[in-house]
Amino acid sequence: MNEYDSARLAAVLELHGLIPAIIEKADVILVNTCSVRAKAEENAIARIKGLKRFKIENEKLKIGILGCMAKNRGESLFKDLPFIDFILAPDEYQKLPEILHPTPYFPLPAFQEFAKLTNNHSAFIAIQSGCNMRCSYCIVPYVRGREQYRESGSVLQEIEEAVAKGVSEFTLLGQTVNGYRFKGLSFAGLLRQVADTKGVERIRFMSPHPKHYTGELMEILLSEPKIAPHVHLPVQSGSNSVLKKMRRQYTRENYLSIVEALRFSNPLYGITTDIICGYPGETEEEFEETLSLLQEAQFDSAFMFAYSPREGTPAASEKEFLNEEQKKARLQKTIDLQNSITLKRAKLMIGQSEKILLEKPSRKNPSEWVGKTGNFKKVVIDIGAIPHCSPGMYIDCVIEGVKGHTLRGKLSA
Ligand code: SF4
């Protein structure tokens, strides 16, 4: 979401005469921050402190802090970072023109829905912002507000404009993206309309919530070939009692039934997830249930974290019984298990014919390109026989092997 917001802001600024600059020459620096973990905020603060020297060298320079940390910390940021000029929370970006005035580049017209493409073949499209869930450990609902859904006509228009510029892969974005609804149109209905848009080849979405896996959604996921066979579906814990404390609103059984349906339709369906180890009060047995869920679900990969309290969330006031070392030990056990599963899942791809969307040449070897399979696996391919490769090309290849967690492919005969 932050990448999308940054691109959107950059596009609006470019539209009005600002051009991208190397940081030493910039007259405006906007830092779009993440607040999801305390560590992310600490990193952002350290990074912003490093910008102070540019202020000394360029008197005109304006530094603005944007994003969730701006919302979460508000005016107190001026105390820690007295050299910054302004802070803008995600729901305040409309004020940017007014704030940057009277720099020579303005006035800007009102901030509008406008997407800058992340590259020339693949685009993120925000369809929903905010979150109505109240997961006990999560700060997002407090900084991003309640769910808002974008008008479907504007979504489709943005996609059509991107298709006209050569984009063929679209990722629909939202905090709980599959909770999307607009005037009677469900997320499944929107997916249908996107799939029916001429020029759209591959559709992804991020991040769905297990609670919103309706029958209608499953039906289109399993029947529409343009929807890539991959989902990042955060589970967080394999224990029903921990899930309840986390207020996740599903059970282990609900979650595994989604996994089972997707893998029944396609055993190579890519499923990735997020895991929190050492949630307050998590017992050894509850932790073991997470490990057993990893075994059952056979995730293709996972983002795994040791629990860290986020000030302002209900979980932060819960008593912790594990110390940092114990949490880290659980995390390490989880990572070790998941790494072995990730490798096993990658090896299942050997011998498969895959349609790869090329992204960029390999840094190590110019005759190799890097791309992604439909199920979101990175592949390195020797493109020797193709004279002109470009990002956004689809090529057919056969998976020959696995190196690390990356697949190696060769062009199909
Ligand atoms: S679903 Fe839960 S974890 Fe995800 S953004 Fe909403 S509150 Fe946070």
**Does 117-228 match 240-348 in CATH topology?**
yes
Give 92 Cα–ligand 1 centroid separation in angstroms.
21
Q: Which residues line ligand 1 (CB under 6 A)?
A: 131, 133, 135, 138, 140-141, 175-176, 209
Sketch the domain layout of the chain as residue ranges: 2-100, 117-228, 240-348, 353-411
**pLDDT value of position 119:** 56
Q: Is residue 41 scored above 80 in pLDDT?
A: yes
Q: Highest mean pLDDT: which of 14-23, 281-290, 377-386?
A: 281-290
397-401: long-range pairs with CB below 8 Å, 24+: 397/353, 397/354, 397/356, 398/351, 398/352, 398/353, 398/354, 399/349, 399/350, 399/351, 399/352, 399/354, 400/350, 401/350
Residue 103 binned pLDDT confidence (cut-offs 50, 70, 90): very low
Q: Is residue 109 scored above 90 in pLDDT?
A: no
**pLDDT value of position 386:** 75
Give me the mean pLDDT over the 252-268 stretch.
Answer: 97
Architecture of domain 240-348: 2-Layer Sandwich (3.30)
Tens of pLDDT, residue by residue over 51-66, are: 999 988 888 899 999 9
Q: Looking at ligand 1, which atom is closest to the CA of residue 236? A: 3
Residue 177 binned pLDDT confidence (cut-offs 50, 70, 90): very high
Give 133 Cα–ligand 1 centroid separation in angstroms.
6
Q: Tokens 């596009």 sit at which residue?
A: 11
Given this structure, which CATH class describes domain 353-411? mainly beta
CATH topology for 117-228 is Transcription Regulator spoIIAA (3.30.750)
Q: Is residue 110 scored above 60 in pLDDT?
A: no
**pLDDT value of position 363:** 85
Query: How close are the terminal C-alpha atoms of the chain, in Å?
Result: 39
Tens of pLDDT, residue by residue over 280-339, are: 999 999 999 999 999 999 999 999 999 999 888 999 999 988 999 999 999 999 999 999
d(CA 146, CA 90): 12
Q: Is residue 111 scored above 60 in pLDDT?
A: no
d(CA 172, CA 217): 14
* CA angle, 217 then 251 then 308, to 5°: 105
d(CA 24, CA 44): 19
* CA 44, chain centre distance (Å): 18
Give me the mean pLDDT over the 161-175 stretch.
Answer: 93
Q: Is residue 12 scored above 80 in pLDDT?
A: no
Give me the mean pLDDT over the 396-402 stretch.
Answer: 95
Instruction: Name beta bridge partners: 123.
Output: 170
Find the length of the chain.
Answer: 413
d(CA 6, CA 330): 35
If phi over 0 gives left and psi between -120 and 50 gives alpha, with beta otherwise, what is residue 376?
left
Give me the mean pLDDT over the 354-372 stretch.
Answer: 90
Among 34, 72, 135, 247, say which to mutate for ligand 1: greatest number of ligand atoms within 8 Å of CB.
Answer: 135
When the pLDDT of each residue in the chain is averaged and rounded to a whole number, the result is 90
**pLDDT value of position 60:** 86
Give me the mean pLDDT over the 171-175 stretch.
Answer: 93
Other beta carbons within 10 Å of 139: 22
Q: Is residue 340 scored above 80 in pLDDT?
A: yes
CATH topology for 2-100 is Rossmann fold (3.40.50)
What's the pTM? 0.84
Q: Looking at ligand 1, which atom is closest to the CA of residue 139? A: 8
Q: Is residue 127 scored above 80 in pLDDT?
A: yes
d(CA 6, CA 348): 37
Judge whether 293 and 260 are in contact, CB under 8 Å: no
